[in-house]
Structure 1
C-alpha cells in the first residue's frame, strides 16, 4: 500500500527541482527525502528518480504517478473528513497561519471566537507569508492559511488547494503629518510620484504591490528606504523620510504623525484576502469551524466603510 506522505515528498521534489530544495521546504534532511523516494519506488517497483549531471530528473513513471497524486491526496483528505465527521468535530487541533496584519485583524478575533464556541479545539496560531504558507499547508503543519495572491504562488485553479474569499481591501497612501497631501480627502496616486518611497526590505507582496500600483499610475517610485516591519515603516514616515502604500485596515500609530490618505481615480490598488486549505479538507469539522470563524471576523471587520485610524 502506498504511503500518501511519500507521494507528497515526490510532489515536493517535482515542484522544487532538487532533493535539497524539497527537503528544505518539507523541513526534512536530504537523506530522509531520498529514503522516502526510494521506499516509494520499491513499493511500486518502478524507477522514480534518475541521476542527470550533478542533479536528478524525474522519470516518466514519476510523472505518471504525479498525475494521480493530486486526486489521491484529495481523496485522502476526504477520507479524513469522513472520519472526523463521524464524531462531533468538537475536539482536535486546528492550526491557523497568516501574514502579520492578517493575524492582528482576522486570525486573532477568529481564534477568540472559536475559544468560546468550540472550547474543545486546540488552537495554534502562527505567522507565515507568501509561498511558504502554501508549503506549510501541503506539509500538514497548518490547516488554514490567510493569504493574498503573491507572485510565484499557486494559481487560483491549483488542484492542491481550495480558496475561500474573505474580503477585498483597498490600499491607502501613508504620508507624514504636515505633508502637502495629508489634508486632502482623497488623492491620485500620481500626486506622490515625486516623493521618496519606503518599501519592504523583503521580496514580498508589499514591494510587488507598490511597484505594480505606481507603474499603473505612470511612474516608477524612487525607493529611498526599506524596512520589513510596519513599526519601522511608520517611524520612517513619521520623521518625514518618505511615503508608502498600506492596507486600509492596518491600524496607524496613535500619535498622529502618520496620516492615511485614501486614493481616488483609475489607480486605486486593492488586494484580495483569502482563506486557503488543502483540497478536500474544508469539510473536516474543525477546519469548517475555522473557516466560518474567519468569515465572521472578516464580515465584522469590513462592516464599517470608514478607514481605521
Structure 2
C-alpha cells in the first residue's frame, strides 16, 4: 500500500495550505500537520518550510513528490490488475463534468452504462467552480470531463491521463435586433467593441473567453457575469451585452436572442477532454466509463450541431421544427442548464 502521508503531501502541493488540504481530505488541520511532521522525521529531511502564515515545499519534498507520483501510478495499475481477478461488474464510478457535457455526453453515457452493467453504482456531479483535477487527485471523483485551459496540467503530467472527447464550436449570443443577428457569421474581432457578459463556470469557460479574445487581438470589456444559461440569455436579450456560448449549451427559447456562427481560422472552439488518474484507466469501471463517454461524444458529433439563428419567440413557427441536436423537444431545451 502507498503511504497515505504521501497522498497528503501531494494534495498540499495543489492546495497550498494545510487548512485547504485538510478540507479536501476530510481531515483536521492538526492531523495533516502531524502526518507531515512524522513523514519528515521518518525520512530525515525537512519537507516544509514556513513562509509567513503559509508553508512552502522544500526541494527534498519536490523530489519526494516526483517519486510519489510514479508510485501512485504503479499502485493504480496494481489495483487494476487485482480487479481483473474479480468479475469487475460491481463497484462504483464517479464522473464529474461541466454542465453542458453533463447534459449532452455524460448523462447518455451513464444511461448506457446503467443498462449494460446494472451492478455498477454511478455518481454524476457538476462541481461547478471546482478544480476537477484536484478532485481527481483527492480521489473525490474517478473521471473528470473538463475544458483544458492554459493554467491546467500539461498532457504529459505524470499524475493524469487526458483523452480528447470532442471539439465544440463557440457561437456568439446577441440580442435578436443586434446588427450581427441577420448575418451568416462574423469574425470574433468584429465584436471587440461590444460589452461582454462573462458566461458560464468561472473555472474554465471564463478563461476560454479571455484566451479566445486574446487570440482575436483584443481584451473583452466585461461588465456582467452569470453562470446559469437562462440568466445569461435574459441579460443578452435585455441588451446588457453579448457572450460566447458553446454549441452544447441550450438557450431557452422564450428569450429574444440569436446564435451567430463565429468564423475564423481556426474558428473559436473549446475542447472537452476526459481525465483520470494515470494508471486507473485499467480498472474495469473507469475503462467502461471512458469507453461510454467516447461513444456518447461520437454520437453527438454524428447527429450534428444545434441550429443557429434566432432562438427566441418566432412568429413563423420554427420552434416547432425537429431538433437535430440534443433532446428532440424543439431547437433548444433545458432552460436551467449551465455551461
Q: Match of 1:302, SS? A: helix
| Residue 191 (structure 1) aligned with residue 181 (structure 2) | no
Relative distance call for 1:41 and 1:105 in structure 2 (3 A) is: same
Match of 1:153 in 2: 152
Match of 2:271 in 1: 272
Match of 2:71 in 1: 72
| Residue 89 (structure 1) aligned with residue 80 (structure 2) | no
Displacement after TM superposition at 1:80 (Å)? 0.8
Q: Does structure 1 retain, via aligned residues, the 8 Å contact 2:198–2:224?
A: yes
Match of 1:35 in 2: 34
Q: Match of 1:122, SS? A: strand
Relative distance call for 1:257 and 1:37 in structure 2 (3 A) is: same
Distance in 2, matches of 1:196 and 1:179, equals 13
Displacement after TM superposition at 1:30 (Å)? 1.3
Relative distance call for 1:244 and 1:35 in structure 2 (3 A) is: same
Displacement after TM superposition at 1:53 (Å)? 5.4
Unpaired segments ≥5 residues, structure 1: none
Relative distance call for 1:66 and 1:223 in structure 2 (3 A) is: closer
Match of 1:165 in 2: 164
Q: Does structure 1 retain, via aligned residues, the 8 Å contact 2:95–2:141?
A: yes
TM-score w.r.t. length of structure 2: 0.83
Q: Which moved more, 1:214-223 or 1:141-150?
A: 214-223
Q: Does structure 1 retain, via aligned residues, the 8 Å contact 2:170–2:270?
A: yes
Match of 2:328 in 1: none
Distance in 1, matches of 2:3 and 2:205, equals 36
Displacement after TM superposition at 1:97 (Å)? 0.4
Relative distance call for 1:71 and 1:219 in structure 2 (3 A) is: closer
| Residue 18 (structure 1) aligned with residue 17 (structure 2) | yes
Q: Which moved more, 1:145-154 or 1:87-96?
A: 145-154
Match of 1:122 in 2: 121
TM-score w.r.t. length of structure 1: 0.91
Q: Does structure 2 retain, via aligned residues, the 8 Å contact 1:131–1:153?
A: no
| Equivalent residue pairs, number | 308
Q: Which moved more, 1:183-192 or 1:91-100?
A: 183-192
List per-residue Cα deviations over 1:169-228 (Å, max 9, x = no partner): 110111121222112221222232333211148643222222222233233322232212
Match of 1:251 in 2: 250
Q: Which moved more, 1:24-33 or 1:182-191?
A: 24-33
Q: Match of 2:196, SS? A: strand
Q: Which moved more, 1:192-201 or 1:171-180?
A: 192-201
Relative distance call for 1:35 and 1:242 in structure 2 (3 A) is: same
Distance in 2, matches of 1:214 and 1:63, equals 36
Displacement after TM superposition at 1:39 (Å)? 3.7
Q: Match of 1:114, SS? A: helix
Q: Which moved more, 1:124-133 or 1:77-86?
A: 124-133
Match of 1:110 in 2: 109
Q: Match of 2:131, SS? A: helix
Match of 2:206 in 1: 207
Distance in 2, matches of 1:143 and 1:278, equals 7
Displacement after TM superposition at 1:230 (Å)? 1.6
Q: Does structure 1 retain, via aligned residues, the 8 Å contact 2:166–2:271?
A: yes
After superposition, the CA RMSD in angstroms is: 2.3
List per-residue Cα deviations over 1:248-273 (Å, max 9, x = no partner): 12112123622111111336211111
Q: Which moved more, 1:259-268 or 1:138-147?
A: 259-268
Displacement after TM superposition at 1:280 (Å)? 0.3
